[in-house]
Chains A and B, each alone.
Chain A
Amino acid sequence: MIKKMKNYFEKNVFLTVVLIVIFTIAACLMWKYTLQSATAVVPTINYMKECICMRQIM
């Protein structure tokens, strides 16, 4: 199966290049999206920290 795919991609070089470009763009976007969504909760956590500290001071 892998050998068949390898032969197919070797014969269709343009398709291979297009797929690599699309895959790279998709991977970069996924990298950015996952990091942004993971760090999005950090400001909320920081806000929670500040509120708790304020309550402790009062």
Chain B
Amino acid sequence: MIKRKRGYLTPVVISVVCWLTFIWLRTFTYMANYNEGTGVYRFLLAAIITMIGTFFYWSLFKPEESAGLISFLFGDEFEECLKETTVGTTKKWSILRKSMFFVGCLSFLSLLAFVFEIWTDIMVFTDAAYIEIGVVDINKKYMFDLILLIIFPLWTQTIFRGIREEGYSIKGILSGAVQLLMLSLISYLLFMKLPNIWLIELAAIEIIIVATGIKKYVWKECSEKKGNVFALIGVYVFFWCALLAAFYRPGMTFSQFSYGGDWEAYQDSVKQIIAGAAAFGTSSELVSNRVVVDFLADRNNYLLVGLYYGGWVSGVAIIAALLLFLITTYRLLGVHAVFNRNYLVYKASWWMLAMRIIWGIPYSMGIIAMPITLPFAGKIGLYMDTIAFGLLIWSVFEARHIDKNFYKNRKIFDMFEKTEVKIEDQGIEDFFELYEVVKVCSGDVALLCSAEEDEQHNALVLEPLETDDACVFIVERVADAEMWHDVEDEAIRSAILRNYTKNNRPDCMEVIE
């Protein structure tokens, strides 16, 4: 019999519980340590609205169908627009060429703005933490995560698709590499006035996105030239190191570069909390410590607050919850995550949350001078981390469709314990899909299946409808009889299954062939 799988329910439930726990801790920290008061539902409501908004806007995003920006940039609309202008040529523009046009324009504008701000008094957008458009001031910190989570990965995967479309030619690879460097330069110029830790995070996640893109789109194609790929990744890492080095001053230590403030004072306060925390509950030693009390005031670190108010039991429980969240959110990416069309977006979302944990815990304990807030703890982080988590939850819906496409090639005997079955037409035809619903019977056992004919091999592919396990039966009619049996030839079975899988591929799936 076919076994049923539990799927993604457990990781979704655990990660949602962790998410609510972190928001609870964030609210508690605010209520206990901040001078400014807050309602009990304030952060919870904000997070739920952000989550719903993420689902809504992400569900609207369909690159091929929507009339949005991406469609305009890389779809036919842009080409039609070009034909109407003098720039247009009769030759069709490839994805890579369109992308190069836009990246080139954007990087030219960014560099121009940068040059203006260096040599003139004109403020454009690179030289401040805010972008001023008329009377409206937009904080760049609100744009940071959206660019890092959505725009950069989407554009990167478009570039890699373009390289694939060009058949991995030298010209295509060079164009793609230059575009990636220019995209990174634009993001650097946009956020260069933010504290250095933001740039370090930007560099780390962009390097990860590019490396993930290479692994997905290029790795299989360069079995003999892997050294060249490593060299290209090395150049990209070096490029980021060079950009970061622009903010390094001689004699600067790593903590001065990444933390900015007095790292030793921070470490000293954290050491006092760790040393003075009770095993359970609030320690009287910490309560009487004026340095610690001042240190925790208006600080949104729920791990340290947990140690202060709840003792080591709370601290360990919070670390365990953070690690559990890290593992379960990774599971949300799906078993066949690499086949997702927007794999880079989901991977970037996971890495962003992962960095908050991987760097956030040691920073909270005063071990690494990387001031990154814990997940959902920051003022902006609450919204941005919720967007990242929302995208991961969304990826589960897509992962279920993708997993279904990996059909198991089953034999009739596995299910019915007989070699021949009878197929009855149920007379239900789904107008939206190209299959018919049939009832497969053998003795007392009956199974509802969708049936699709493979005309080339004169066979029928049956997919059970009422089971969670994705499998198919490939059958052919017994000569001069109403019965059906398995196709015996394994090569033909594989070819039929390959065709069936290709025809039934969901929109969210992308196979690199």
Which B residues are in CB contact (< 8 Å) with A35? 24, 27-28, 31, 40
- B287-305: which residues lie under 8 A (CB-CB) from chain A? 287-288, 290, 293
Query: Which residue in B24, B287, B290, B309 is a CB contact (below 8 Å) of A34?
Result: B24
Among B40, B282, B293: residue with most chain A CB under 10 A = B40
A36 and B293 CA atoms in complex are apart in Å by 21
Which B residues are in CB contact (< 8 Å) with A31? 24, 40-41, 44
Q: Is the CB of B287 within 8 A of A45?
A: yes
Is B9 in the interface zone, CB < 8 Å from A? yes
Is A58 in the interface zone, CB < 8 Å from B? no
Is A53 in the interface zone, CB < 8 Å from B? yes
Q: How large is the interface on B (under 10, 10 to 19, 20 to 34, 35 or more residues)?
A: 10 to 19
Query: Which residue in B32, B287, B309 is a CB contact (below 8 Å) of A52?
Result: B287
Q: Is the CB of B284 within 8 A of A36?
A: no
Given A36-B40, A41-B282, A45-B282, are A53 and B24 also a contact pair (CB < 8 Å)?
A: no
Given A45-B282, A49-B288, are A28 and B41 also a contact pair (CB < 8 Å)?
A: yes
A49 and B290 CA atoms in complex are apart in Å by 8
Tally chain A residues at the interface, Cβ within 8 Å: 17
B262-299 vs A, CB cutoff 8 Å, 1 = contact: the mask equals 00000000000000000000101001101001000000
The secondary-structure label for the interface of chain B is helix
- B33-47: which residues lie under 8 A (CB-CB) from chain A? 40-41, 44
Q: Is the CB of A38 within 8 A of B293?
A: no
**Minimal beta-carbon separation of A2 from chain B (angstroms):** 7
**Minimal beta-carbon separation of A19 from chain B (angstroms):** 17
Is A48 in the interface zone, CB < 8 Å from B? yes
Is A18 in the interface zone, CB < 8 Å from B? no
Query: Which residue in A2, A39, A56 is a CB contact (below 8 Å) of B31?
Result: A39
Q: Is the CB of B288 within 8 A of A52?
A: yes
Which A residues are in CB contact (< 8 Å) with B309? 38, 41-42, 45
Q: Which residue of B lies closest to A56 (CB)?
A: B288
**Minimal beta-carbon separation of A30 from chain B (angstroms):** 10
Give 19 A-B contacts (CB < 8 Å), ordered by A residue.
Answer: A2-B9, A28-B41, A31-B44, A32-B40, A35-B24, A35-B27, A38-B28, A38-B32, A38-B309, A39-B31, A41-B282, A42-B31, A42-B309, A45-B282, A45-B309, A48-B287, A49-B288, A52-B287, A52-B288
> Which A residues form the contact surface with B (CB < 8 A)?
2, 28, 31-32, 34-36, 38-39, 41-42, 45, 48-49, 52-53, 56
